Chains A and B, each alone.
Chain A
Amino acid sequence: MSGQDSEARLTSETNVVFETTVASKTTVVFETSVLTAIEEAAATAYPFEGCGALLGNSAGSVRRVCASLHLPNREEGRPRVRFEVSPADYLSVEDEADRRGLSLLGFWHTHPDHPALPSATDRQFAWEGLLTVIVSVPERRPREITAWEVTGPDSPFSPVLLREDGRNGILKSLAGRPRATQED
């Protein structure tokens, strides 16, 4: 056969999961109560990954998130490093969005003891049109929050700018944020 047999080299697949140089035009604005709800759910889920759906409205490139629906992590094998939303839960989320007259904007999940950067698995399951929001939870305390979106079936994640409603500047960290009293 071909002499290439013995010359074959393994090539590491270039798994570019995300790039930070190309920012998306999208901006996500969280209502304070939503951030508080995510923070609590994220801490409760620890050491397992927590997850939930984000409901709100879109206007141009701005996504305004006004509700988080906390969902059970249905991953059975390795819930410390994986999450899964069941199809039934997905459908109930869309029903709830319809009932409230809101849109499903995306899903959030946590990375316990790991940075809020998307993994290859996150990219694999990302849907164009749904935001991927990641919260890092070192030692039970939610810290970083990041959001990502894909623009095509093979495109890497682009980072999305986050803001908290009524506050100036870019939202990066949940830690040190003034505690909100309002509940969703």
Chain B
Amino acid sequence: MPVEIRIPTPLRRFTGEKAHIDVSADVLEGALTALFSQHPGLKAQLVDEKGGIRSFVNIYVNGDDIRFLEGASTPLAEGDKIAIVPAIAGGSGALSREEIARYSRHLLLPEVAVAGQQKLKNGRVLLVGAGGLGSPAALYLAAAGVGTIGLVDFDVVDESNLQRQILHDTTTIGQPKLVSARRRLEALNPHVKVELFEERLTSENVLSIFDGFDVVLDGTDNFATRYLTNDACFFLKKPNVYGSIFRFEGQASVFWPEKGPCYRCLYPSPPPPGLVPSCAEGGVLGVLPGVVGALQATEALKILLGTGRPLTGRLLLYDALELSFSELKLRRDPACPLCGENRTITGLVDYAEFCGLGRGDEPPAGAEITPGELDTWVKRGDPVELIDVREPHEAAICAIDGARLIPLASLPERVHEIDGGRTIVVHCKSGARSARAVALLKQAGLTRTYNLRGGILAWAREVDPSLPVY
């Protein structure tokens, strides 16, 4: 089919200043091939290394963008008019007067300066979790002028969060954490755009949520999300700024695909449920996430600025009681199931069902009873031995009448103290450690053992509201 191709002004130097070229073709791709054979210089201007049309060029057939037709396969009819249109855009991308005043201490640093501040402004950082680590990180990133801050969280603010989660305050107890966080961040810096994802991160949504961001900051409190974050960052080749905290100790690193190891090089798969206590069970010094979250924010800023030496290939360990920082060298593990030489993980994995931590604190299905059932047994006078596997300082806060305290760590050597002739019910704070204890007792031959679902928190909620919760 004879068709006409319209050449824009800046490309006419390749066509001997001709504005219109006639070719014959049945589909668009054929017309372009014919055009390039007549005027070879045009090809490099219009086609990228992969053979696709360059992003700065739009092609129209009879006034319609081919991206909304059939692309290169768009069929042509006699007399069709093809137009090549260069993208015309730009702009100062600039800092306003207010921004210059606000960021003046950054602008004075040669390593940041105006160009760096603009990189921060164009930067997009996603925080997974708006809790202990996410709070200081989000506040410092917003203060620093990172243009877009994304937050993923689906929790609500609880009174027990406020000891460390400084994005939230007493007035926002009971509100979604994201609502509370947005209010705080926008009050701190109105130049920052806050994007909220109020959902649990899953293998279904993780890629689409991460996709638009330059850096992901891992502030999760559970292994399911931590592994999902690591794996998604690997598949999307995005730097993952990792931090974790427990009691008085913190860790941080940058897992940057292709530049260094990933989290699975360190820990190939998640621990079984209950083995590693969460902060909700083990406690955490409130200021600890402040230190670690600020370190994570620092790394995210360095990545956006493209300056300094990132914490890639290094695991930083912080001990608040000793006030010591130490560093472990991390290497990519050739046997890593995700980024090693013989990869066994080629897609995303949802660990939620058997990781059992964080909000998904549910112990594995099986030998469980509810607080209501236990209450009935006790009131009925059934022979029940109730074992509390928490730590003594937890039992000092609250305890169920008649429970015997055997902390999980000492359970193996004290199994003989337990009367195997009775029905055994084990509880902890919320059910994870006791699930581990149940498994241990069953191994020891005590098969009539039940886990108290939801732990003492559920007991307090459903049976004895007079108990203080923590």
Of B162-170, B215-223, B325-333, the one touching chain A: B325-333
| Pairwise interchain contact B90-A132, C-beta atoms closer than 8 A | yes
State whether the Cβ of B305 lies closer than 8 Å to any Cβ in chain A: yes
Picked from B56, B65, B87, B94, the residue with its CB within 8 Å of the CB of A81 is B94
In the complex the two chains form, what is the Cα distance from A124 to B89 in whole Å?
A: 9
Using a CB-CB cutoff of 8 Å, which residues 82-136 of chain B contact chain A?
Answer: 83, 85-97, 115, 118
In the complex the two chains form, what is the Cα distance from A113 to B309 in whole Å?
A: 35
State whether the Cβ of A31 lies closer than 8 Å to any Cβ in chain B: no
Task: Name which residue of chain B comes closest to A3, CB basis.
Answer: B331
- Give min CB distance, B94 to chain A, whole Å: 4
In the complex the two chains form, what is the Cα distance from A109 to B88 in whole Å?
A: 11
Task: Name which residue of chain B comes closest to A139, CB basis.
Answer: B97
Q: Mark B298-327, 1 if CB is under 8 A from A, else 0.
A: 000011011111101110000000000000
In the complex the two chains form, what is the Cα distance from A90 to B8 in whole Å?
A: 9
- Give min CB distance, A23 to chain B, whole Å: 21
Known contacts: A1-B332, A103-B9, A132-B90. The answer to whether A13 contacts B306 by CB under 8 A is: yes
State whether the Cβ of B442 lies closer than 8 Å to any Cβ in chain A: no
| Pairwise interchain contact A83-B89, C-beta atoms closer than 8 A | yes
Of A32-40, A115-123, A161-169, A170-178, the one touching chain B: A115-123
In the complex the two chains form, what is the Cα distance from A127 to B54 in whole Å?
A: 13
| Pairwise interchain contact A82-B305, C-beta atoms closer than 8 A | no
In the complex the two chains form, what is the Cα distance from A3 to B13 in whole Å?
A: 50
State whether the Cβ of B334 lies closer than 8 Å to any Cβ in chain A: yes
- Measured between beta carbons, the chain A residues less than 8 angstroms from B210 are none
- Measured between beta carbons, the chain A residues less than 8 angstroms from B259 are 5, 8
| Pairwise interchain contact B91-A49, C-beta atoms closer than 8 A | yes
The bracket for how many chain A residues form the interface is: 35 or more
In the complex the two chains form, what is the Cα distance from A101 to B89 in whole Å?
A: 25
- Give min CB distance, B277 to chain A, whole Å: 30
Task: Name which residue of chain B comes closest to A15, CB basis.
Answer: B115
Known contacts: A113-B94, A130-B9, A130-B10. The answer to whether A1 contacts B334 by CB under 8 A is: yes
| Pairwise interchain contact A10-B58, C-beta atoms closer than 8 A | no
In the complex the two chains form, what is the Cα distance from A103 to B13 in whole Å?
A: 13
- Give min CB distance, B194 to chain A, whole Å: 15
In the complex the two chains form, what is the Cα distance from A114 to B93 in whole Å?
A: 9
Using a CB-CB cutoff of 8 Å, which residues 1-40 of chain A contact chain B?
Answer: 1, 3, 5-13, 15
- Give min CB distance, A78 to chain B, whole Å: 8
Picked from A8, A82, A130, the residue with its CB within 8 Å of the CB of B309 is A8
State whether the Cβ of A96 lies closer than 8 Å to any Cβ in chain B: no
Picked from B6, B10, B92, the residue with its CB within 8 Å of the CB of A111 is B92
Q: Mark A59-85, 1 if CB is under 8 A from B, else 0.
A: 000000000000000010010111111
- Give min CB distance, B338 to chain A, whole Å: 14
Picked from A7, A81, A87, A118, the residue with its CB within 8 Å of the CB of B60 is A87
- Give min CB distance, B23 to chain A, whole Å: 19
| Pairwise interchain contact B91-A111, C-beta atoms closer than 8 A | yes
Can you list 29 A-B contacts (CB < 8 A)?
A6-B313, A6-B314, A8-B312, A8-B313, A10-B305, A10-B306, A12-B305, A12-B307, A13-B306, A15-B115, A78-B91, A81-B94, A84-B87, A85-B89, A87-B87, A90-B85, A91-B6, A91-B83, A94-B8, A94-B9, A97-B9, A113-B97, A119-B93, A120-B118, A124-B90, A127-B10, A128-B10, A130-B9, A130-B10
Which 10 pairs from chain A and chain B are nearest by CB? A5-B313, A6-B313, A1-B332, A82-B91, A129-B10, A114-B94, A111-B92, A122-B90, A85-B88, A127-B10
Instruction: Report which A residues bind B (CB closer than 8 A).
Output: 1, 3, 5-13, 15, 49, 75, 78, 80-85, 87-88, 90-91, 94, 97-98, 103-104, 107, 109, 111-114, 118-122, 124-130, 132
